[in-house]
Chains A and B, each alone.
Chain A
Amino acid sequence: MAVAEFVIPELTEYTVVPKINPGAMEKVKSFVAPQGPQEYLGYPWELGADWKERAIDKMGDLLGKYRSLRVFMDACVHCGACTDKCHYFLGTADPNNMPVARQDLMRKVYRRYFTLPGKIAPWLVGAEDLTEDVLNQWYTYYHQCSECRRCSVYCPYGIDTAEVTMAGREILNYVGVGQKYSNEILVKVQKIGNNLGLPGPALEDTLLGLEEDIEADTGVPVKMPLDVVGAEIMLVTPSADFFSEPHVESLIGYAKVFHAAGVSWTLSSKASEAGNFGLFNGSYETMQKVAMRIRDAALELGCKRIIVGECGHAWRVAYSFWNTLTGIGYGGEDPFSKKLQQQLDNRYPQPMHICEYTWDLIESGVLKFDKSLNDNRVITFHDSCNVARGSRMGTEPGGQFTIPRNIIRAVANNFQDMPDDTIGEGTFCCGGGGGLLTDDLIEVRVKGALPRMNAYNSVVKGNQVNFLALICAICKAQFTKVFPYYGFDRGQVGGVHQLVSTAIKLD
């Protein structure tokens, strides 16, 4: 566990498309979920005699439910535009990590069982039987995709590999081979309230400790309220913000912003997790259950506004899917949906990202900063994949790119973007998203981080950058882990609200 048993890629001036190395990553396999979590989530925990029929039934079910999936299966013309866009291919050289090849693992099975030519003359149309070998390949390579959707930006048909990966993982779960990391987390969030499994009393103790720290540090009694009924704002943030470095620095930043704004706010022990791994394993029902906790907590606490902390995929789920998962799409006619709609303050977007909230306060002159306190830092910003390509912030197109950068420029003097083709809509994934942030996939994570590390290195060398600002708990944990492999100090990783926290003036 302590020493890398693989070759760490070398940093280059820009990321070079590697010569393919077939099978390079076929041995790297995430641990399979045991009986406990599989049973809890309603899945079998081993392949039954009828696994193949189950898999094909499920595939048919998904193809019927999601028109997009059928279009993605049919539309690809193998033009190759996506081949060199995936960070996992660029870092591993395994051709199955080319998005088109990863999709084809499913497409060949789709053709065999769901198209006429594939049923009659499979050898003519690249159709193949679903065998245990193919299933194993699915497991391996659908857990070497972080569902970051960079490839879809460059696909002339807009084929979304993430949806194919999600479908692949859902079928895998359905036949009994789930991923241990994601599925254990999905149990904890439903049983305890967060991905960490941090029970209420531990959360309370942790928050009290943080209040002491802030007061010792600033002399100002900044509070971290928990389960306060009637608070105006409920903050939902990834549980890593309570637990880890550097995540906790951003949590302190949010608390200082709320304090400076003079607003009443609260965290919830029931909804002590913004993240929703239901997105990762592709199950709509699970994603809905995880999202429901937040609606329930909002109703119980009677808050007027819901704000989401620094978490990439949480923001995608909140911004793009909460409405369908828990509101109008859930029926919208149930008494609870109606009550929530009446309860929330319609003068504000619901939900709101913490960056939108802070930027509004900066624009209206409510927050004051001493920017020189960040002068020891030369900062760059990594756009998180799910925020960049799956959501938006503010009222203008591209707000998800400008708002976090505007905040950084408002609280610090030294900012430098990384090369254009590695940020914004074309941002590279950190390498640990989509349920891959686990030790058993460390090789995938380190190699997949290569394009981002090259881009970071170019501004370290060229512009003396020494701080990578982030708005995602997965990105923070991933870079903290992989920075040392590439010779960078993990102390250079932090949050946007960590920078806010450093510079904000409190009374």
Chain B
Amino acid sequence: MPMVEVAGKSFEVDEEGYLTNLNDWNQDIAEYLAKEEKVEMTESHWDVVNFLREYYDEYQIAPAVRVLTKAVAKKLGPEKGNNKYLYELFPYGPAKQACKIAGLPKPTGCI
């Protein structure tokens, strides 16, 4: 598996650049992964990423898009609680790109 070096620490990632070990995640690697994805992290991005990690911690899976949009609406206001806004934050698709930055495994299936 490939390794990446960020802020003096090395991280194992898979061939698609997803972090192999969930517990390795920290802010530095998140910034690095975001940069790789050409996503500039703002406070809203961090809110989404942190929510993903909390949800994953409880359910061992990333939240469904509806669950995520509701959480975003609660935190950032109802006008932002929709799929379109999430795509603005994470243009390649909130499920995959946001999970990658949050250090979660890639969601699979017909999505």
Contacts and interface: CB of A to CB of B under 8 A. Distances in A.
Interface of A: 1-3, 31, 181, 184-185, 188, 194-199, 201-202, 205-206, 209-210, 213, 238-240, 242-245, 247-248, 273, 275, 311, 437, 439-440, 473-474, 476-477, 481, 490-491
A477 B111 contact: yes
Interface residues of B, number: 30
11 contacts: A1-B97, A3-B38, A198-B64, A199-B59, A206-B64, A245-B65, A245-B83, A248-B65, A275-B109, A275-B110, A477-B110
Nearest to B1: A34
B79 interface: no
B111 A2 contact: no
Contacts of A243: 64-65, 95, 107, 109, 111
A209 B63 CA distance: 11
Given A1-B97, A243-B95, A202 B61 contact: yes
A194 B110 CA distance: 11
B110 A201 contact: no
B75 interface: no
Highest count of chain A CB atoms <10 Å: which of B65, B95, B97, B111: B111
B70 A202 contact: no
A424 B62 CA distance: 37
Interface of B: 15-17, 36-39, 59-61, 63-67, 70, 83-84, 87, 91-93, 95-97, 107-111
A244 B15 contact: no
Contacts of A440: 16
A165 B15 CA distance: 25
Given A1-B92, A243-B95, A440-B16, A195 B110 contact: yes
Given A439-B16, A473-B110, A481-B93, A199 B66 contact: no
B16 to A, nearest CB: 7
B16 A31 contact: yes
A239 B62 CA distance: 13
Given A3-B38, A243-B107, A199 B61 contact: yes
Chain A's interface: helix, strand, loop or mixed, by majority?
A: helix
Contacts of B109: 185, 188, 194-197, 238-240, 243, 273, 275, 473
Given A238-B109, A248-B66, A437-B110, 10 more contacts: A206-B64, A206-B66, A210-B66, A239-B109, A240-B109, A240-B111, A244-B65, A245-B65, A311-B110, A473-B109
A185 B111 CA distance: 12
Contacts of A201: 59
Given A1-B92, A198-B61, A209 B111 contact: no
A1 B83 CA distance: 20
B65 A202 contact: no
Chain B's interface: helix, strand, loop or mixed, by majority?
A: loop
Contacts of A185: 108-109
Contacts of A245: 65-66, 83
A242 B64 contact: yes
Nearest to B94: A245
B64 to A, nearest CB: 4
Contacts of B97: 1-2
A31 B16 CA distance: 9
Contact of B111 (A184, A196, A199, A273): A196
Nearest to B38: A2
B10 to A, nearest CB: 20
A442 B41 CA distance: 25
B64 A2 contact: no
B61 A196 contact: yes
A244 B111 contact: yes
Contacts of A196: 61, 107-109, 111
Q: Which 10 A-B pairs have the closest CB atoms?
A: A195-B109, A473-B110, A202-B59, A240-B110, A196-B109, A243-B64, A244-B111, A245-B83, A206-B64, A474-B110
A491 B61 CA distance: 25
A244 B91 contact: no
A31 B2 CA distance: 14
A480 B17 CA distance: 23
B72 to A, nearest CB: 13
A31 B87 CA distance: 26
